[in-house]
Amino acid sequence: MVTYIDIFTGFLGSGKTSLINEVLKNSMEFNERVAVIQRETGEKEVDKEFINNENVLLKKFKKDESIRIKDIMVILNEFLPNRMIIEENGISDLRDLLNVLDKFQVRKHCVINSIVNVIDCRNFDSLMSIVGQNMITNILYSDLIVLNYSDKILLHKFKDLKKEIRAINKYGKILNISTPKDFTEYEGIKNSRFKQKNKKKNPGDKLSIILLIFAMIYLSFTIMRFIKSEGVVFDISKLQIISTIFTSILIEAFPFLLIGVFISSIIQVVITREMIIKYFPKSKILSFIVASLGGLLFPVCDCAIVPVATRLIKKGVPMYAAVTFLLAAPIVNPIVIASTIYAFQGQKLIVALRIGIGIIVAILTGIIFMIFPEDEKTIFTGFDNYTCNCIYCSGYDVSKIGIWDKIVIVFRHAGEEFLNSGRFLVIGALIASISQTFIPQDIFFKSTNKEILFILIMMAAGFVLSLCSSSDAFIARSFARQIPIVSVLGFLVLGPMADIKNMLMLSGSFKKRFIIKLFFIVFNLIFSILCFTKVVFF
């Protein structure tokens, strides 16, 4: 027999016990045996009618007493409940309880059915400022977040609150109720094993549908190939080209992205905000120099820089310096410089101009961000700028964990971050491969004779093609014959700084407004500097 565990967490007075009463009422209808473990007793008690019921076992713990495996095992073995409801207090870290429940002995008999976080809308903000981290962790781990007394606060405040919750927990269900009675209406509480059987949708459904689609596509392709060999002409070449280009961009970019997320993870685990504040140059001039040349230490391409720069801002590096680094590092780095020299052999001016303009644009953008600063609190899409919002690193103190744990976290975190930034890379590569297949490249060469327009066209090409900065020089060289060299520079400088791929990857952690502002400044700066360069050098 499997025992379903429901965990209720939330602060004193948020209405946990009232909700538990509603759940119990429902369970009794099904004649379930329910064990209730309370770590906190507020004003509200579990209803008398349930306490006296032989199917209900109530066990209370003191506030500072932690739940041990033994306690749970005793209840499981002696009472044999269908359901176990654990009422946690809101102050303690949910992970301590989960660690106990994850032990093999317990898992043999139990399944965690749901984690419910009850929040009193009226005092959320004030509690958040006091308890902070643990509250974030607990919300992060919840499946269902119940916003209690939602009609007691103003509508716009409620919307903000909901947004805030959503920023912490992206996937959990949010339910707003005005009194505990409303909870009865919620289908989820009837989610016992009896109800489960009657449910039409089972968890595998979504998955099997997707697998079915994949299988059908595969089948149809096999048939198509068969038909083709029979002599019937069927043109799938465009799709094949898209697929090949798409895959090749990913093959090329994944190793670099992996390097980037590893560096980012190491920074996350090893370097603390205090260290950044202590060692990062106080002098603004010096910090610009460090930021613009920092890329020399990261021999990677632009897709690796995005996670590193984002991490640096989160760790407390000033915005302007991080922006300078983000823009300069993809150009001022050993691999990119080497490949540019190689591609443009004997044309040192091109190499020098690429690096020079790159640094100038990066620093100027940094200065603009210094003069017109963005509020760091508002530019991130996540909830808390200062912690990583992934499950591996919310709430631990890097200085207190051992070396081995640090290594484990570096790898797990790198995996998580790879998936998070990588998905934008996948989307970017898909867009780039489709646009490459359907937009003939001679648009870039034949459309005009005006040099100024050429600069814009090549900048657009750099943006759309989303090439890896370690290799774009070779491509640029193939353009170099047909078009003026200044516009080739536009391609070489803008491509690494701002392209579709980077834009999507940045959107993983920054708000749209910030990305648009950044790209707008970069576009304009590069364009004006190139026009200037044209007059001076060519």
Partner 1 sequence: MKTMRKHRINIEIIFKLIVFLGFSVFFIILIKTGNVKKYVHPRIIPYMKFAVAGFIAISLFTIGEIFRTKGPGMNLKKYILFLIPLFLSFVIPPKTAVLSSSVIKGNGVNGINYGSDYKDNTNSKSDDTIDITADDTTTDDDTTTNGTNSDVSQNNGDVSADENNIAGTGEDYGSEQLKIEGNNIIVDDSNFAPWIMELYYDVEKYEGKNIEMVGFVYKDDESLKENEFVVARLMMVCCAADMQPVGIVCQYDKTSELKSEEWVKVKGILETYDFAGEKNPIIKVESIEPTDKPKEEIVYPY
* Footprint on residues 187-226 left by partner 1 (CB under 8 A): 188, 191, 196, 202-203, 206-207, 210, 214, 217-218, 221
Closest CB to partner 1 among 209 and 516? 209
Task: State the virtual CA torsion across 25, 30, 33, 36 in degrees, nearest 10.
Answer: -30
Per CB under 8 A, 386 contacts partner 1 = no
Closest CB to partner 1 among 316 and 422? 422
Closest CB to partner 1 among 227 and 286? 227
CB of 104 to partner 1, least distance (A): 8
Per CB under 8 A, 447 contacts partner 1 = no
Closest CB to partner 1 among 12 and 112? 112
- 105's enclosing H/E stretch is helix 104-109
Closest CA to 16 of 80, 121, 123, 90: 90
Cα angle value 422/243/489 (rounded, 5°): 70
Residues 254-273 that bind partner 1 (CB under 8 A): 254-256, 258-259, 262
Per CB under 8 A, 474 contacts partner 1 = yes
99-106 LR contacts (CB < 8 Å, sep 24+): 100/67, 100/68, 100/69, 100/72, 101/5, 101/72, 103/69, 105/69, 105/73, 106/69, 106/72, 106/73, 106/76
Q: Which stretch binds partner 1 (CB under 8 A): 57-65, 76-84, 97-105, 359-367?
A: 97-105
Per CB under 8 A, 114 contacts partner 1 = yes
Residues 293-312 that bind partner 1 (CB under 8 A): none
Per CB under 8 A, 342 contacts partner 1 = yes
Closest CB to partner 1 among 221 and 520? 221
* CA 350/CA 488 separation, integer angstroms: 9
Q: CA quadruple 102, 108, 109, 114: dihedral positive or negative?
A: positive
The amino acid at residue 315 is: K
Q: Which stretch binds partner 1 (CB under 8 A): 82-90, 103-111, 321-329, 361-369?
A: 103-111
Closest CB to partner 1 among 128 and 250? 250
Q: What is the DSSP string of 145-205?
A: EEEETGGGS-HHHHHHHHHHHHHH-SSSEEEE-SSGGGGGG-GGGG-SHHHHHH-S--THH
Q: Which stretch binds partner 1 (CB under 8 A): 156-164, 282-290, 378-386, 479-487?
A: 479-487
CA contacts within 13 A on the Cβ side of 413: 26
Per CB under 8 A, 477 contacts partner 1 = yes
Per CB under 8 A, 520 contacts partner 1 = no
Per CB under 8 A, 164 contacts partner 1 = no
| Residues whose CB falls within 8 Å of the CB of residue 480, separated by 6 or more in sequence, listed in order | 344, 488
Site mask, partner 1, residues 481-510, x = CB under 8 A? Answer: xx--x--x----------------------
CB of 516 to partner 1, least distance (A): 24
CB of 200 to partner 1, least distance (A): 12
Site mask, partner 1, residues 28-67, x = CB under 8 A? Answer: ----------------------------------------
> How many residues line the site for partner 1 (CB under 8 A)?
100
Of the residues 92, 150, 421, 437, which one makes contact with partner 1 according to CB under 8 A:
437
* DSSP H helices in 230-347: 237-270, 273-279, 284-293, 302-314, 319-328, 334-343
Of the residues 47, 71, 252, 384, which one makes contact with partner 1 according to CB under 8 A:
252
The DSSP output letter for 398 is G
Q: What are phi and psi of 156, to 5 degrees?
A: -70, -30
CB of 62 to partner 1, least distance (A): 26
Per CB under 8 A, 383 contacts partner 1 = no
Contact 281/290 with Cβ under 8 angstroms? yes
Terminal-to-terminal C-alpha distance of the chain: 82
Per CB under 8 A, 26 contacts partner 1 = no
Residues 167-186 that bind partner 1 (CB under 8 A): 169-173
Of the residues 245, 459, 497, 530, which one makes contact with partner 1 according to CB under 8 A:
245
Per CB under 8 A, 366 contacts partner 1 = no
Contact 199/187 with Cβ under 8 angstroms? no
Residues 398-417 that bind partner 1 (CB under 8 A): 408, 411-412, 414-415
Closest CB to partner 1 among 53 and 471? 471
Three-state secondary structure call for residue 38: strand
CA contacts within 13 A on the Cβ side of 350: 24
Strands 144-148 and 34-38: unpaired
Per CB under 8 A, 243 contacts partner 1 = yes
The amino acid at residue 451 is: E
Of the residues 86, 459, 467, 504, which one makes contact with partner 1 according to CB under 8 A:
467
| Residues whose CB falls within 8 Å of the CB of residue 19, separated by 6 or more in sequence, listed in order | 8, 116, 118, 146, 180, 183
Of the residues 69, 73, 241, 431, which one makes contact with partner 1 according to CB under 8 A:
241
